[in-house]
Amino acid sequence: MKTTEDALKKLIKVKLNKAGLSEEHAEGVADVLVHADLRGVHSHGAMRVEYYAERIAKGGINTNPNFAFEKTGPSTGIFHGDNGVGHVAAKKAMDRAIEMAKEFGVAVVGVKRISHSGALSYYVQQAAREGLIGLSLVQSDPMVVPFGGVEPYYGTNPIAFAAPGKNDDMITFDMATTVQAWGKILHARSKNESIPDTWAVDKNGEPTTDPFKVNALLPIAGPKGYGLMMMVDVLSGILLGLPFGNRVSSMYHDLSEGRNLGQLHIVINPAYFTDLTTFKENISKTMSDLNNIKPAPGFDQVLYPGQNTTIIEQKSRLEGIEIVDEVYRYLESDVVHYNKYDDKDPFAK
């Protein structure tokens, strides 16, 4: 079914508040989730609310965290999340990074000990709206086989980037270092749809099209994606003195415990490297150039990276956000959660 941005935010906020989050933090999470659903990234949208609600209700997300920012250098710092809700901690950490980049030209801020923080595109767009370049990396729990291996070691370890163009132009790119994010598998399950056989493998390491038989995901472009997910794990885990690789906590194991995840924001002020007006003009020109390239057979137009989600967002604002009926019914219900995520196999049905 379809719903409006405001209506969806209200439903999410009420549910998370009922689970135990403060009004402020529930609203912060709702903003990030609806941002994802608007862009068609439903794997990081409202479908996550029930899981968050169960973790909050069971104490695995600190509802009264002692957020603290530790400045470790002129343009570096660590935002201590105290296992509070990741969306709010990541947003506040990006605010700090933006402040430092405006003053010093560049900022690198680690976000330490947080819960799942949702779609990274939200945070890099914070920087781009301020005329800055944003880059964000985050580790996740092991569910990807390394190139040439059978056992999962790294997570989907996503990367996001955004840069400002002229006027309201903005180029945003957000990707997992796997062929697809785990949330896409969950979305396929929620709609009882098959998946391409290039996304994941079953328990025998064989490609599968059945989302319910997935036992591990595959890195994008084989060894190249494998290298990227290693880089993300180093920068958002080892660099911050946090668990890494297959030591990263599972999303579903013991929902009463904090996850201690890490994230890294890098913000660059273009004005410290070139003329800012020219930079923005060239970003817009890049977007236009790519759109004007002759499309290959089978394509209507060449899109710049991330443009597909921008198109979906524009359409969603006009026509409404598409939400799976089951997810919407849960949001409308009086139920906080159905006690179905705690200590389950992440690949189980």
* The pLDDT value given to residue 347: 66
* The pLDDT value given to residue 210: 94
SS3 133: strand
* The pLDDT value given to residue 149: 87
- pLDDT above 90 covers a percentage of the chain that reads 87
Helix-strand-coil split of the chain, %, nearest 5: 40, 15, 40
Query: CB neighbours (10 Å) of residue 68?
Result: 11
Instruction: Decide if 44 is catalytic.
Output: no
CATH architecture of 2-275+310-332: 2-Layer Sandwich (3.30)
Q: Find the angle CA(336)-CA(342)-CA(346) to the nearest 5 degrees.
A: 120
Model confidence at 204, pLDDT cuts 50, 70, 90, reads confident
Q: Per-residue pLDDT averaged across 305-333, rounded?
A: 95
Pick from 112, 103, 111: nearest CA to 130: 103
* The pLDDT value given to residue 226: 96
Q: What is the pLDDT of residues 40-52, one digit of tens each?
A: 999 899 999 999 9
* The pLDDT value given to residue 287: 98
Q: pTM of this prediction?
A: 0.94
Q: Which of 25, 35, 44, 116 is catalytic?
A: 116
Q: Per-residue pLDDT averaged across 276-284, rounded?
A: 98
Q: What is the pLDDT of residues 10-37, one digit of tens each?
A: 999 999 999 999 999 999 999 999 999 9
* The pLDDT value given to residue 278: 98
Q: What is the pLDDT of residues 73-110, one digit of tens each?
A: 999 999 999 999 999 999 999 999 999 999 999 999 99
> What are the domain boundaries of the chain?
2-275+310-332
